[in-house]
Structure 1
Amino acid sequence: MDMKNYDVFGVGNALVDIIALIDQNFLEKQKIQKGIMTLVDETQQGSILASLSDVKKELRSGGSAANTMIAIANSGGTCAYTGKVSHDAYGEFYKKDMEDAGVLFETKPDSSGHTGTCVVLTTPDAERTMLTSLGISTSLQASDIDIAGIQKAKFVYVEGYLWEGLGTKQASRLTMEEAKKNAVKVAFTYSDPFCVNRSREEFIQLTKDYVDVVFCNTEEGLALSQKSSPEEAIKFIGALSDLVFMTAGKEGAYVCEKGKVTLVPGFPVKPIDTTGAGDAFAAGVLYGLTHGYSNLKSARWGNYVASRIVTEIGPRLTVKLMGRQEEILKDFKD
């Protein structure tokens, strides 16, 4: 009998997302590079928020791995999440919002510093640009990791963004080591091309040593592999890890199983906001892998969850997907 309490135990930067719809001119006026994540300090972020004072904003508990845990819970899976928040209003909001979404969040808050925030600016072309003030999220360390929690999980899921800090990197490595010791599978997302470019050698070694399942998009895959086509890129990563899922926008996702590459088609939709699409895809896949689906069927469910998220503003689904898998996947043949 399976005594696992969680499908997935996630570790990441705990950030409150502040989501705003803006026009292209705003980015140009503020000299913000479009379509990527930029790290900013509190002062820079404060001045951006001041410029947005007349714009309607929405708050969400977020961070890449947190978005994935929330979407797994939405599909009907069970998750726990570890990330660092402060004893402040955003920190309290974060814990409550995670628990309301069905994710166990028990990391002890810290009283120094402020809870990390990410201003998510979405333009009419559905592109999202992120300005992140990591705040206290970077003080996550190995001692915050609940080893007993890892032992109770089928998978751990770690985000590449954690490689930006020494303590967060140690916490990630410990998570992977403990998972390996306890026969818990390790899933890792490369997170962003800038993470890959800064930590390429480490990511390659890590993938080889610990990672059972890799998540990336084509840009991240190309950055890691230094190849010129998505197919070559996924084969390069597939030589490091048995199972790789690489998203390819509206085309769907490539899956590499022990060197064999398949393109699993996406669901055609008109996107209004791509925030959290990769996180949602990973959630759908991890739901599938922990519920007896084949790798390709898991990718198809991942594509569906991602197709729903891009038709909403922000990285959170307003529709419940629990129990809808059979009806949505009924025509899918491996």
Structure 2
Amino acid sequence: MSRAPHPDRRYVSVGQYMTDVVASLPGALREGTDTPADVRVMGGGAAANTAAWLAHDGHTTTFVGRIGDDLLGRAGRMELEEGGVDCALAVDAQRPTGTCIVLVMPDGERTMVPDPGANQALTPQDLPDGLFAAGRHLHLSGYMLMVDSSRMAGLSALDRARLRGMTTSVDVASVGPLADTGAARFLSWISGVDVLLANEEEAALLAGLPAPQHDESTAAALDGARQAALALRSAAATVVVKLGSRGSLAVDSEQGEAHAPAVPVDVVDTTGAGDAFAAGFLPAWCDGVDLEVALGRGNRAAARVVARVGARP
């Protein structure tokens, strides 16, 4: 599997397409009555977001997913294609396009209420076999593995990519569904992947370590991330832990450990930060650049997302 600059490399991002209904709240949600908010309807879905940022940065990218036969699905396809993404989208005649309500608090932290819709019906037959070819890179959203009905599609994508000589990455995507799924099961599905991307809560859960404390020192946070990454090296060649305002840390078999600080920015909305990080990190990793440089590119990509509302370019 080649890791060197390649002008014709294609990134294949497999996972969810969602329509995000983003409500930016001025304060705490007032239950049982009205809470005025700035509400916007935007494209979302972890794998679709990563594909959109990859294409925005000039990388040849295909997004593979499933949408409903409805207005939201057609609008979503159009938005991605206008942004330069090649779309391989199965259309579900029975299920609606996935939708997620995103509540954004004043500090930028978000709470999501998703309805996966057509995403949960993605099957191996929906994956165009011609997309899997040597020299390309597969990026898989962990959501696909944590939903029973779409798991076989995710596993099939990983199997085909390995057989065809592609490099592979998996982004865990969300700590809640991971806790419901169980760390051991998830690790058994992604074992042997080239790059595993996780935030600090996801990494700790996967590694069987205590959950990180938000008020701990930077040194303690980095030490916890390091322990988690080292523990997870048995599942992935390169383990990346995203640490928000503390940057990101990675451990791999070739370069050892690297850390890159975050880019200072006023946080408006953290939705899609990890998806954009992947779009910044993966091309650098695929080109074989220094691990610290690759992390820095991921951090810069995430910073441009959190400074504004929404997960897309």
**TM category, shorter:** 0.7 to 0.9
CA distance in 2, matches of 1:3, 1:310: 30
Which of 16, 38, 63 is the aligned partner of 2:19? 16
Q: Residue by residue, what CA displacement relative to the aligned partner does 1:165-186 show, whole Å, maximum 9, x if unpaired?
A: 2331100000000000000011
- Superposed CA offset, 1:243-291 (max 9, x none): 1111111111001011822211121112111111111111101121234
Q: 1:177-222: CA deviations, max 9, x gaps?
A: 00000000110011111232223112222332x3111100100000
How many residue pairs align between the two structures?
Answer: 295
Distance, in Å, in 2 between the alignment partners of 1:308 and 1:211 is 28
Are positions 1:249 and 2:257 aligned together? no
The one-letter amino acid of 1:266's match is A
Measured after TM superposition, the shift of residue 101 of structure 1 is: 1.6
Contact 2:17–2:45 (CA<8 Å) still a contact in 1? yes
Is the 1:75–1:287 Cα contact (8 Å) retained in structure 2? no
Q: Give the equivalent residue in structure 1 for 2:292.
A: 296
Name the structure 2 match of 1:316.
312
Give the deviation of 1:294 after TM superposition: 2.6
Amino acid at match of 2:281: V
Aligned to 2:77: 95
Residue 85 of structure 1 aligns to a residue whose secondary structure is strand
Matches within 5 A, 1:99-248: 99-151=81-133, 154-197=136-179, 198-208=181-191, 210-228=192-210, 229-248=224-243
Displacement of 1:15 after TM fit? 0.8
TM-score, normalised by the number of residues in structure 2? 0.88
What does residue 219 of structure 2 align with?
A: none
Aligned to 1:85: 67
Matches of 1:145 and 1:81, distance apart in 2: 10
Determine the C-alpha separation between the residues in 2 that align with 1:65 and 1:6: 18
In structure 1, the residue corresponding to 2:293 is in which secondary structure?
helix
Alignment of 1:66-85 (within 5 A): 66-85=48-67
User: How much does 1:308 deviate?
Assistant: 1.0
Partner of 1:37: none
Q: Distance in 2 between matches of 1:168 and 1:30?
A: 36
1:7–1:148 Cα change, 3 Å:
same
| Matched letter for residue 203 of structure 1 | F
Please state how far the C-alpha of 1:239 moved relative to its aligned partner: 2.9
* In structure 2, C-alpha distance between the alignment counterparts of 1:214 and 1:248, rounded to whole Å: 14
CA RMSD of aligned residues (A): 2.2
Residue 296 of structure 1 and its aligned partner are, at CA, apart by 2.2
SS in 2 for 1:280: helix
Which of these residues, 28, 31, 44, is aligned with residue 29 of structure 1? Answer: 31
Aligned mates of 2:57, 2:291 — CA distance in 1: 17
Q: Give unmatched runs, 5+ long, in structure 1.
A: 32-50, 318-334
Q: Secondary structure at the match of 1:300?
A: helix
Gaps of 5+ in 2: 211-223
**CA 1:30 to 1:104, structure 2 compared with 1: closer, same or farther past 3 Å?**
farther
Q: Is the Cα–Cα contact under 8 Å of residues 8 and 155 in structure 1 kept in the other structure?
A: yes
1:299-329: CA deviation from partner (whole Å, max 9, x where unpaired): 1100101111110111123xxxxxxxxxxxx
Check if 1:264 corresponds to 2:260.
Answer: yes
| SS of corresponding position for 1:97 | helix
Q: Which runs of 4+ in 1 moved over 6 A?
A: 1-4
**Alpha-carbon distance between aligned partners in 1 of 2:85 and 2:132, rounded to the nearest angstrom:** 15
Tell me the alpha carbon deviations over residues 11-51 of structure 1, each in whole angstroms, 9 at most, x when there is no partner. 1111111112113432x5169xxxxxxxxxxxxxxxxxxx7
In the alignment, what sits opposite 2:217? none
Q: Secondary structure at the match of 1:29?
A: coil
SS of 1:107's partner is strand
User: How far did residue 227 of structure 1 move?
Assistant: 1.9
**Are the aligned partners of 1:6 and 1:80 in contact in 2 as well (CA < 8 Å)?**
no
Q: For 1:93, give the aligned amino acid.
A: A
- Secondary structure of the 2:78 match is helix
